[in-house]
Chains A and B, each alone.
Chain A
Amino acid sequence: MTRKVFPKVSLNVHYVKLILLLAISGSGMAQGHGPLYGLQTPTLAKGGVDLNVAGMSLGTETETSYMLRYLFSYGITEDLQVNLTTPTMIERLGETPRTRGNSNMPANGDIEASLWYRFFSNAFGVGKRFESTAIVGVSAPTDNVRGQVNVGNAIHAAISTGYASRTWYAWIGGGYQYYFESDDERLGDLPYASAVVGYRPNIFMGDYPKPDWRIFIESLAEFPGGNKIDGQLDFSDTRSTKVLVGPSFLGLYGGWGISFGAMVPVVQDLTPGSVKERYRIAVNLSYWL
């Protein structure tokens, strides 16, 4: 099995590259209006089209990855949305931590298609609604090996419920990613949960079409399972528990949106020798057609 090894480069150069790439690629793309990392519930209008481009970076103790990710979404009905997301890997990690990274757009190198079904919605007041959404998806990796284990296709399912209003937002949810075998090796399952609280400050309560900004506090708990080799748990036992917390900001104006945020681990219960994360950052540009 071949490991990809990347040369270490000054961190400042990495940041400059990321910013330049975002500047080049970032116009005319769009996305939903929820948190950056956690599960959410809004779906597009019937016939709505949504395009996104995101820049993502994940730092471990020894390496940093960079990627761009594109997301295309279409509203089949006001409650059913189909999504397709593809990555452009700029720099992969040699030692990859087990993570999904982002509910909408994986922080690994997978191509993913998903369906979002908003099965419950109760708009009970001006600017207020409760809603719940279920997600099912399939993904295919663009790398052969991840964390020294062959990586196969995967299926993903999640459910989230939440509250949206003109002032406060809140979502909780959980998901599960199952990887299929690839050459007698299988990445461990990835159950996860997220919780998000959002707030729109008074200064941004001006009516449409004034600019609209929100801050979210996001949390993500991941419980990667052990990898399997020939049907048996890998002796190195990569089961772990991670909890990450961080802020994200969402700015909207007419059909345009930008969101950016970061998460840092507050709990990393890993087996010795496992990859420790230092941070995750992401920037997302959006446009609604």
Chain B
Amino acid sequence: MKNIKMMALIGIFGIGTISGQIARVDQEVYGMDCAPCAYGLERGLKKMDGLQEVRVSLNDGKAYLGLAEINDLTLRSIQEEVKKNGFSAKKAEVVLMGNATKEDGQWYIETDNERFAVSQDTSIELVQKLAVGRTTLSGTVQDEDDDNLSDQWEIILSKIE
């Protein structure tokens, strides 16, 4: 009986805690034309806690970021760093480990700090694969206005692990 009560308590507190994060971001960046642009952005990104791998490509116009296994980085903070360097953050390809939830027919993927609404442009086959609970998936997060970033995003899913 005691064990059952203990397991019930663990279960209650476990459900109440979302443990989700971003695992990988390939962030598109517009406006980077030269070596110091890439150098400055790379330096700024490397200073952020939680990034394990940073590679900036001028020709691709992208910052390729690998995040630490445990991190509390947000896509918003990454895009704000791009803006601080004088460029424009566009769409991002991400790998998320989060909690899938459904509200009023709309699917969401929630990490500790952000919420990604699954876009209607996601294929029906993938949407049908979604299930409430922990999930790892990848997709493309749509571009938002650099001056009005928030912790709410829209994502077109491409793969569910």
* A residues in contact (CB < 8 Å) with B: 32-33, 42-48, 78-79, 118, 121, 123-129, 164-166, 169, 205, 207-212, 214, 252-255, 257, 288
* Residue pair B88, A123 in contact (C-beta under 8 Å): yes
Q: Please tell me if the beta carbons of A129 and B39 are within 8 angstroms of each other in the complex.
A: no
List residues of B (46-63) whose CB comes within 8 Å of A's CBs: 56-61
Q: Which residues of A contact B30 (CB under 8 A)?
A: 123-129
Question: What are 14 contact pairs spanning A and B, CB under 8 A?
Answer: A33-B37, A46-B84, A78-B83, A123-B87, A126-B30, A126-B59, A129-B30, A165-B33, A166-B58, A209-B35, A252-B35, A254-B39, A288-B36, A288-B39
Nearest chain A residue, comparing its CB with the CB of B80: A46
A214 — nearest CB in chain B belongs to which residue?
B34
> Is A257's CB under 8 angstroms from B36's CB?
yes
Q: Let me know if A121 and B40 touch, CB within 8 A.
A: no
For B37, the chain A residues whose CB sits under 8 A away are 33
Q: Is B56's CB under 8 angstroms from A208's CB? A: yes
Contact status B36-A127, CB under 8 Å? no
B41 surroundings in chain A (CB, below 8 A): 45
**Further 14 A-B residue pairs, CB within 8 A, beyond A45-B40, A78-B86, A126-B60:** A33-B34, A33-B36, A44-B86, A46-B85, A47-B84, A121-B86, A123-B87, A124-B30, A125-B30, A165-B33, A207-B57, A208-B57, A214-B34, A255-B36
Instruction: Report B-chain residues with C-beta under 8 Å of the C-beta of A208.
Output: 35, 38-39, 42, 56-58
- The chain A residue with its CB closest to the CB of B84 is A46
The closest CB in chain B to the CB of A43 belongs to B86
Q: How far is the CA of A210 from the CA of B41 in the complex (A)?
A: 16
The residues of A that contact B133 with a CB separation of less than 8 Å are none
For the complex formed, measure the closest distance between the CB of A143 and the CB atoms of chain B, giving whole angstroms: 34
Contact B84 A252 (CB under 8 A): no
What number of residue pairs across chains A and B have CB atoms under 8 A from each other?
95
Report A212 CB to chain B, min CB distance, Å.
4
A288 near B40: Cβ-Cβ < 8 Å? yes
Residues on B with C-beta less than 8 A from A211 are 35
Q: In whole Å, how far is A50's beta carbon from the nearest beta carbon of chain B?
A: 9
B38: chain A residues at CB < 8 Å are 208-209
Chain A CB within 8 A of B32 CB:
yes
**Chain A residue with Cβ nearest B61:** A126
Q: Is the CB of A253 within 8 A of B59?
A: no
User: Cβ of B85 and Cβ of A45 under 8 Å apart?
Assistant: yes
Within the assembled complex, what's the spacing in Å between the Cα atoms of A211 and B32?
A: 15
Minimum CB–CB distance from A165 to chain B (whole Å) comes to 6
Which residues of chain B have C-beta atoms less than 8 A from A48's C-beta?
40
Bound Cα distance from A111 to B77, whole angstroms: 39
CB <8 Å contact, A209 and B40: no
Please measure, in the bound complex, the distance between the C-alpha atom of A32 and the C-alpha atom of B30, giving whole angstroms: 19
State A214–B35 Cα separation when bound (angstroms).
11
In the assembled complex, the Cα of A212 lies from the Cα of B61 at a distance in Å of 16
Question: Is there an interface contact between A45 and B33, defined as CB atoms closer than 8 Å?
Answer: no
Contacts of A126 in B (CB 8 A): 28-30, 32, 59-61
Assess whether B39 is in contact with A255, with CB atoms less than 8 Å apart: yes
Task: Find the residue from B31, B56, B87, B88 having the highest chain A CB count within 10 A.
Answer: B31
Q: Among A42, A47, A127, A254, point to the contact of B58 (Cβ < 8 A).
A: A127
Which residues of chain B are within 8 angstroms of A32 by Cβ–Cβ distance?
A: 36
Closest to A30 in B: B36
**A275 to B4 alpha-carbon distance, docked (Å):** 98
**Closest CB-CB distance, A40 to chain B, in whole Å?**
12
